[in-house]
Amino acid sequence: QQPVQSPQAVILREGEDAVINCSSSKALYSVHWYRQKHGEAPVFLMILLKGGEQKGHEKISASFNEKKQQSSLYLTASQLSYSGTYFCGTDPPARFGAGTRLTVKP
Partner 1 sequence: DAGITQSPRHKVTETGTPVTLRCHQTENHRYMYWYRQDPGHGLRLIHYSYGVKDTDKGEVSDGYSVSRSKTEDFLLTLESATSSQTSVYFCAIGRRLAGGPSTDTQYFGPGTRLTVL
Q: Which residues form the interface with partner 1 (CB under 8 A)?
A: 2, 29-30, 32, 40-44, 47, 49, 52, 87, 89, 91-99
Residues 43, 36 contacting (CB under 8 angstroms): yes
Q: Between 16 and 49, whose beta carbon lies closer to partner 1?
A: 49
d(C-alpha 37, C-alpha 40), whole Å: 5
Handedness of CA 6, 93, 49, 65 (dihedral sign): positive
Q: Between 52 and 56, whose beta carbon lies closer to partner 1?
A: 52
Give the nearest distance from C-beta 77 to partner 1 in angstroms. 26
